[in-house]
Amino acid sequence: MIGRITALKERFRQLYDANPQAVTKGPGRIDLMGHHTDYNDGFVLPVAISFEVLAAGRLRDDRTIRAYSSNFDSMAEFCLDDIAFDRVNTWSNYLCGMLVYLKEAGVELRGADLAIEGNVPVASGLSSSAAIEMAVGTLFQALLGFEMSGADLALIGQRAENKFVGINTGIMDQFISRLAQKDHALFLDCRTLACEQVPLDTGKTKIVVCDTMKRRGLVDSEYNLRRAQCEEAVRLLSQWIPGIKALRDVTPADLEMYQDRLPEVVRKRARHVISENARVLAGREALSQGRIEDFARLMDESQDSAREDYETSCFELDAMAGAARSAPGGMCSRLIGAGFGGANASLVREEFVDDFLAVVPERYRVKTGIEPRLYVCTAEAGAGVVES
């Protein structure tokens, strides 16, 4: 990261003829467990990773925001009193949304010159959007000195993405990007927003992201359909289980008792969500006790459930899971993000990482004809100031 910070500061000086007052980071994330449980008021277990967005900034004496993206080599400029959706520099809308809802929360904003650079792979399910939101939010907090909890900043990031950018995400991505601790996963209750740091030593066990290079299709329509099917399951089950508000309130024993009364597709969707919540709870316990092999088994079960019951996997994700599970040091492999393409995450024993990186791409190419990309990750701390 040091070399990237140096390069970003140099670019900042070239653009604005001044040094930045602060540089911040917002990390990407992997959802180790909790596939489509968030909108069912369930549990998730993500981890922040060693790929992040960097943001450098310096305050101005007016109301102008000038923001440069090194990834897109483009500049966006606007007034804080007239923040509008940018249909040309679409990357800047995550920044704009953060400023809109920081202002709504009562923060007295000032103009600033910004430069942003990220190495979070886009469209791989690693939440580059939350990374930029938390990098920018943390930067303005550093520049302006206002008090705000990490949870509240994460909620502003979610509002920015939901209401300004127009993407209907849950709260997991922003929470882990802001609140993560190094060598820990974050257990999050999506109903109460209660969270707990759970130890995950990525010194001995690496997380390897295996990007299938299959870009996700039909995510929006299928996401909305899955959500409707879960709501239908709750509506039907509430006839026999009074007081339930979401599938989070239904136990595996409840489903076993009433599943024959549900339509087949609705039953499958409910079975995935209910069993996935149980896996997250079991996974939290396994990590807390250092039982990494048990946690890996649960990750494999999560992938199998996503394929068979939630039907959010695809040929490429399945092929990658098969290649990774059988590779040297490969302990498990599970899709990350929404599914329908994107990437898998594998836990790999540290001493076998090089062998894993050599074997998996070849096995995947043979099966799919596609050249994948693999990234070795560690569990890192959440958004914060890296230089001031």
CATH number at residue 220: 3.30.70.890
Residues 106 and 69 in one domain: yes
Q: What is the pLDDT of residue 218?
A: 58
CATH number at residue 186: 3.30.230.10
Residues 305 and 363 in one domain: yes
Pick from 169, 183, 135, 109: nearest CA to 337: 169
Q: What six digits make up the tokens of 316?
A: 């490429």
Q: What is the pLDDT of residue 92?
A: 96
Domain count, the chain: 2
pLDDT in tens, the chain (388 residues): 889 999 999 999 999 999 999 999 999 999 999 999 999 999 999 999 999 999 999 999 999 999 999 999 999 999 999 999 999 999 999 999 999 999 999 999 999 999 999 999 877 778 899 999 999 999 999 999 999 999 999 999 999 999 999 887 788 999 999 999 999 999 999 999 999 999 998 889 999 999 999 987 656 678 889 999 999 999 999 999 999 999 999 999 999 999 999 999 999 999 999 999 999 999 999 999 999 999 999 999 999 999 999 999 999 999 999 999 999 999 999 999 889 899 999 999 999 999 999 999 999 999 999 999 999 999 999 999 999 8
Q: What is the pLDDT of residue 338?
A: 87
Q: What six digits make up the tokens of 185?
A: 């996963």
Q: Indicate the helix (H) or strand (E) that contains 66.
A: strand 64-69
Q: What is the pLDDT of residue 5?
A: 96
Q: What is the pLDDT of residue 217?
A: 62
Residues 189 and 216 in one domain: no
Residues 210 and 323 in one domain: yes
Residues 365 and 325 in one domain: yes
Residues 190 and 45 in one domain: yes
Residues 36 and 174 in one domain: yes
**Single-letter amino acid code for the residue at 357:** L
173 carries an active-site annotation: yes
Please tell me whether residue 61 adopts helix, strand or coil conformation.
Answer: coil
Q: What six digits make up the tokens of 342?
A: 């994107």
Residues 237 and 189 in one domain: no
- Sheet-wide strand order for 373-377: 334-335, 342-349, 205-214, 373-377
Residues 180 and 219 in one domain: no
Q: What six digits make up the tokens of 9?
A: 């500061």
Q: What is the pLDDT of residue 216?
A: 72
The separation between CA 362 and the C-alpha centre of its own chain, rounded to angstroms, equals 27
Residue with the two structure tokens 């898998």: 344
For the purposes of burial, counting CB atoms within 10 Å of the CB of 143, is it exposed (0-12), middle (13-18) or buried (19 or more)?
Answer: buried
Q: What is the pLDDT of residue 103?
A: 97
Which range marks the domain in which residue 143 is found? 2-198+381-387
Annotated catalytic residue, options 38, 41, 113, 173: 173
Q: What is the pLDDT of residue 219?
A: 64
